[in-house]
């Protein structure tokens, strides 16, 4: 039998430094330009072991839906992954509670706005704790610490001459809390057949508004934004969204209205020194990322290593407005803005009026928390929208978690094959080209693939392609199942000492594979991974990225697990789901907020 080379490759940290190019500058903005040099994402002084990840903060005008959970699960996965890598990671989420939309929703519910916001914010918190979203800070924009941060931020922009009193006349969408140019607006009919104007992107109704308010000099920052993006081609990912933003910067940017008259909008933070005006909700909301970092007090440790997760619908706010505000305020820009696409139902956007909103809490009760987390990350592709069906969830979870991973664990720990219930020993002789070797070429391929798996998974986690990481893990699980089937350990004669040693070796290799899969899966399915690793007898301090040394016995090194008692059996890893458990997918009305 041929021995396939099995090479252990050491991975080094891939720090990428890029040179930045800057175009000529006008005297007016020279001081700002210096800020770009000092503060753009590749030039900040970073603490290499700190990491700061954020979700968007969620509007509290309606109950949480599947899309919200998706943003949170992606961020949670990256946060847990960084912890496994030994980082000091901060993970922020929370709720966006000001603005006209929330003011109107509270009015419609006949509630005091703060009570209304608290109720819905608690629903998000409840969803997140049910789904093991392990945030380290939950921010609400109605908190005092946030008001202080926003007021300070506003004053910095004001003192730099970047905000001026002016007037805005144009389209506004309250649903999106967004200003639109005429080419972003189209005609539509409302439910009564009346002609209305809508945002072409979101489909939400827009209204013409004309108001005296404060304007931000966005127009002056366009070339600096371009410099930032050209110098940091990985700042917005996936690349498709990076290119879209670059494209949108090919034309002039209008200045941006950053306040509303308080006669129309009371529910917000008043403009410092002008109680007649309320700060624009997006400026208010975006500053939440700084508030959590500690701004206006010491915030560099976190702010210099900030990464945002956002859905594609809020790209412009995070890639044009937010960096411009930060450049204006002389603050570093985020390291990465990871953009994800949307979940649709029946090919359509989820919406209350269509009655196709998927309730994430209900689904986690049907499919378990880890089941939903796994499904969202296994099927969610950042580049394009995905359609949700319960049947798809059942198929994916049964195939990957119940049959493939669960089946493998079951086989290797079953008392019939492993009566001593130990992490059995490895005998290198079977993996040698000498006469008594029993491994075949496919086995060596498997060893190679599992050995390389942590590096593959790391690369995909880092670029938020979690589905690719899960695909790679799944492929290895299938290979390990193939390995067990190929050698059919149940057919070996346990009275023959050589057969018994080969049986132990097969089990050992399979348990080692499972240990690697369980460790790598922790960011995605923390409960299942915990169950799996505990069953293998892997202790909590042996589950980090540094513990991913696969099959040390094959290299002539000691395996710390060999001979150890397995952990106790606490039930199947993941119970198969039956289709009859699931209602026919009839559209449902979401619960109205009272
Ligand atoms: N409040 C703003 C964000 C302010 S951040 C400074 C907001 N809130 S939101 O509640 O409408 O959306 C929060 C997140 O949920 C966004 O990332 C959005 O893209 C995401 N999703 C909303 N619907 C979604 C789907 N159908 N599918 C996937 N994600 C979606 O925008």
Average the pLDDT over 421-425 and give the result.
Answer: 97
Please report which confidence band the pLDDT of residue 27 belongs to, taking 50, 70 and 90 as the band edges: very low
Q: Whose CA is nearest to atom 14 of ligand 1?
A: 68
Q: At residue 449, does pLDDT exceed 60?
A: yes
* Residue 360 near ligand 1, beta carbon < 6 Å: no
- Name the one residue in this structure whose structure tokens are 């499919």: 367
Q: Relative to the CA of 310, which ligand 1 atom is closest?
A: 17
pLDDT band, residue 592 (cuts 50/70/90): very low
Q: Global pTM?
A: 0.90
For the chain, the distance separating the N- and C-terminal CA atoms, rounded to the nearest angstrom, is: 71
| Peptide bond between residue 296 and the one before it cis (omega within 30 degrees of 0) | yes
Q: Is the CB of 291 under 6 A from ligand 1?
A: no
69 lines ligand 1 (CB under 6 A): no
- For ligand 1, whether the C-beta of 322 sits within 6 Å is no
Ligand 1 near 343 CB (within 6 A): yes
**Using a 6 Å cutoff on CB, does residue 67 contact ligand 1?**
yes
Which region among 245-259, 395-409, 425-439, 551-565 has the lowest average model confidence (pLDDT)?
A: 425-439
Residue scoring higher pLDDT (265 or 590): 265
Is residue 60 scored above 80 in pLDDT? yes
96 lines ligand 1 (CB under 6 A): yes
Quick one: pLDDT at residue 43? 53
- The pick from 54, 71, 318 for probing ligand 1's pocket by mutation, whose C-beta has the most ligand atoms within 8 angstroms, reads 71
Please report which confidence band the pLDDT of residue 39 belongs to, taking 50, 70 and 90 as the band edges.
Answer: very low
565 CA to middle of ligand 1, Å?
47
Rounded-to-integer distance, Cα 249 and Cα 254, Å: 11
Distance (Å) from CA 1 to ligand 1 centroid: 56
pLDDT at residue 350 is higher than 90:
no
Q: What is the mean pLDDT of the chain?
A: 90
Please give the number of the atom of ligand 1 that sits closest to the Cα of 68.
Answer: 15
Name the range with the highest mean pLDDT among 5-9, 252-256, 372-376, 431-435. Answer: 372-376
pLDDT at position 1: 33
Output the pLDDT for position 433: 72
Asked if pLDDT for residue 40 goes beyond 70, the answer is no
Residue 454: enclosing H or E segment and its boundaries?
helix 441-462
CB 206 within 8 A of CB 176: no
Q: Which pLDDT band, with edges at 50, 70 and 90, does 5 fall under?
A: very low
Which residue did the predictor score with more confidence, 440 or 589? Answer: 440
- Which of 444 and 27 is assigned the larger pLDDT? 444
Ligand 1 centre and the CA of 337: distance in Å?
Answer: 14
Confidence band, pLDDT 50/70/90 cuts, at residue 218: very high
- CA 373 to each of CA 74, 80, 185, 397: distance values in angstroms, whole numbers, following the listed order: 9, 13, 37, 10
Nearest residue (by CA) to ligand 1, atom 13, is 58
What are the pLDDT digits (tens) for 519-549? 999 999 999 999 999 999 999 999 999 999 9
């Amino acid at each position: 039998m041929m021995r396939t080379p099995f090479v252990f490759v050491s991975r080094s940290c891939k720090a990428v430094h890029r040179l930045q190019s800057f175009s000529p500058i006008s005297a007016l903005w020279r001081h700002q330009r210096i800020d770009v040099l000092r503060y753009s994402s590749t030039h900040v002084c970073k603490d290499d072991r700190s990491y700061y990840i954020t979700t968007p903060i969620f509007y509290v005008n309606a109950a949480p839906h599947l899309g919200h959970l998706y943003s949170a699960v992606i961020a949670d996965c990256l946060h847990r992954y960084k912890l496994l890598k030994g980082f000091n990671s901060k993970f922020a989420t929370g709720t966006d509670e000001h603005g006209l939309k929330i003011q109107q929703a509270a009015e419609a519910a006949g509630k005091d706005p703060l009570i209304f916001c608290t109720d819905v914010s608690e629903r998000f918190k409840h969803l997140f704790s049910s789904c093991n979203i392990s945030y380290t800070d939950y921010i609400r924009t109605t908190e005092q610490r946030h008001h202080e941060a926003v007021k300070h931020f506003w004053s910095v922009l004001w003192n730099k001459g970047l905000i001026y009193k002016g007037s805005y006349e144009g389209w506004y969408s309250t649903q999106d809390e967004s200003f639109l140019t005429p080419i972003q607006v189209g005609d539509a009919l409302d439910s009564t057949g009346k002609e209305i104007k809508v945002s072409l992107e979101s489909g939400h109704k827009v209204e013409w508004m004309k108001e005296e308010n404060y304007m931000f000099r966005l127009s002056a920052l366009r070339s600096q934004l371009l410099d930032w993006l050209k110098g940091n081609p990985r700042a917005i990912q996936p690349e498709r969204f990076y290119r879209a933003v670059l494209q949108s910067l090919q034309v002039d940017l209008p200045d941006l209205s950053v306040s509303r008259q308080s006669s129309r909008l009371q529910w917000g933070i008043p403009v410092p020194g002008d109680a007649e005006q309320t700060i624009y909700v997006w400026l208010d909301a975006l500053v939440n990322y700084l508030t959590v970092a500690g701004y206006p007090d010491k915030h560099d440790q976190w702010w210099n290593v900030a990464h945002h997760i956002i859905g594609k619908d809020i790209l412009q706010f995070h890639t044009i407005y937010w960096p411009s505000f930060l450049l204006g305020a002389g603050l570093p820009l985020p390291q990465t803005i990871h953009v994800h696409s949307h979940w649709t139902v029946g090919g359509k956007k989820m919406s209350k009026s269509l009655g196709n909103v998927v309730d994430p809490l209900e689904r986690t009760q049907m499919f378990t928390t880890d089941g939903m987390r796994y499904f969202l990350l296994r099927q969610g592709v950042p580049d394009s929208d995905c359609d949700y069906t319960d049947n798809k969830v059942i198929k994916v979870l049964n195939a990957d978690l119940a049959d493939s991973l669960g089946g493998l664990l079951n086989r290797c720990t079953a008392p019939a094959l492993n009566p001593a219930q130990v992490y059995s020993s490895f005998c290198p002789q079977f993996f040698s080209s000498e006469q008594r070797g029993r491994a075949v070429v496919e086995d060596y391929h498997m060893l190679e693939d599992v050995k390389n798996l942590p590096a593959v998974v790391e690369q995909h986690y880092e670029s938020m392609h979690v589905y690719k990481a899960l695909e790679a893990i799944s492929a290895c699980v299938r290979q390990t199942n193939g390995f067990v089937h190929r050698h059919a350990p149940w057919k070996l004669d346990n009275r023959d000492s050589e057969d018994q040693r080969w049986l132990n070796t097969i089990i050992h290799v399979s348990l080692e594979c499972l240990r690697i899969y369980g460790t790598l899966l922790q960011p995605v399915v923390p409960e299942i991974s915990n169950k799996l690793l505990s069953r293998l007898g892997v202790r909590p301090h042996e589950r980090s990225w540094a513990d991913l040394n696969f099959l040390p016995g094959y290299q002539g090194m000691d395996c710390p697990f060999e001979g150890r008692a397995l952990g106790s059996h606490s039930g199947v890893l993941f119970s198969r789901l039956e289709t009859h458990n699931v209602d026919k997918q009839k559209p449902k009305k979401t619960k109205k907020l009272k």
